[in-house]
Structure 1
């Protein structure tokens, strides 16, 4: 029971943390680029970025298999480098979690950057600050609440990812089995004690994440 509980919990946390780091960097940079720019095709680009929010997890899982599967050019390239396909590894779970949680980080960060007073940014530029310094020491500190909210929501979304992970990473105990897939298998096998333990653990973590957002925003 202990191993059946700890293994998926620890793997889910590892996958979610790594996914969060990737999502935070990519989502923040994309949001900064898109926040105050207007260009041809912007609406289409943003729609593509937000698609994982509305697409069924099975569709995302299918697309990941098509893109990273053993028969795809990307999949063969990865296998040639690491001598192992990415499918049915915990890195596949990271990729799936990153894809589904990126829109939350992007949307939250974009909202924060859009609300930054342009006069403050321009004043920093006039004082000689480079674009990188303006971004790191002016824009991000002002938009920090939106960035933290996006990060917490992305972490919680990655933690609860199920459908795409099950299709792309599989459900291998001790290797790719996350809390979500472990709950599913526990119910299927009739192990309700383990299912309840995992469910309550996920509820506690998710509740803590959402509560921290509410408390932080009110500061």
Structure 2
């Protein structure tokens, strides 16, 4: 087995990395679709209770991860309606699976994508959208061909921030998905375990990986913003 550092193997290093990337990527896809649709509606909508709805959508951004994890357990746990229904349909539990980690990452990353998308949509001149409708475009065509392209920078920024948040999620993931090596152990939870066991080589390897990924994404955002 090829050694990266003392007591550190390629397999030990890659397993949490690949799981983290898979979880973060799937969470990003879900977040992007849901947040873009929600932001597009909320950017122009005027209705009673809008502030309350937006506050709820943004709440995971400020709640402690343990609170988010607790609420997810209440919603998706084995004793919940959703958890019980899932067990009946698939004879399995949502808890302590890699896709429960996707749920946790999706929830905590959603506000970042939503806020960026909404800001992008609000910066689109309504006259341009109206002009497209006058030229015969329907609402969907206007959204896909006018609104989305004009909001491209904001959407890319939101997507990168959401991915970074998803790949670094720890507290809620630990509570709902656990920390099972090879099954639900992502890089943040793996770092915690490595540090607890005194395996500093593994801890440093994963820390450097997350720092490099986060640095590159933030640098890309800054370059994009200044271009």
TM-score (norm 1): 0.99
Q: Provide structure 2 residue ranges, at least 5 long, that are not aligned to the other structure.
A: 1-8
**How many residue pairs get matched?**
219
Tell me what 1:128 maps to. 136
For the residue of structure 2 that corresponds to 1:87, the secondary structure is: coil
Tell me what 2:118 maps to. 110
Structure 1 residue 218, shift from structure 2 partner: 2.0
Tell me what 2:55 maps to. 47
Are residues 1:188 and 2:192 paired? no
Which residue among 136, 143, 148 is the counterpart of 1:140? 148
- CA deviation digits over 1:122-173, x for unaligned, max 9? 0000111010000000000001000000000000000000000000000000
When the two chains are superposed, the root-mean-square deviation of aligned CA atoms in Å is 0.6
- CA deviation digits over 1:20-46, x for unaligned, max 9? 000000000000000011110000000
Are residues 1:200 and 2:218 paired? no
Are residues 1:4 and 2:12 paired? yes
TM-score (norm 2): 0.95
Structure 1 residue 185, shift from structure 2 partner: 0.2
Where do 4+ consecutive residues of structure 1 move more than 2 Å? none
Q: Distance in 2 between matches of 1:62 and 1:117?
A: 41
Tell me what 1:78 maps to. 86
Which residue among 157, 181, 185 is the counterpart of 1:173? 181
Q: Distance in 2 between matches of 1:47 and 1:188?
A: 37
Which residue among 140, 152, 159 is the counterpart of 2:160? 152
Are residues 1:29 and 2:37 paired? yes
Q: Distance in 2 between matches of 1:114 and 1:68?
A: 34
For the residue of structure 2 that corresponds to 1:172, the secondary structure is: coil
Which residue among 67, 72, 80 is the counterpart of 2:75? 67
- CA deviation digits over 1:74-123, x for unaligned, max 9? 10111112211110000000000000000000000000000100110000
Structure 1 residue 180, shift from structure 2 partner: 0.1
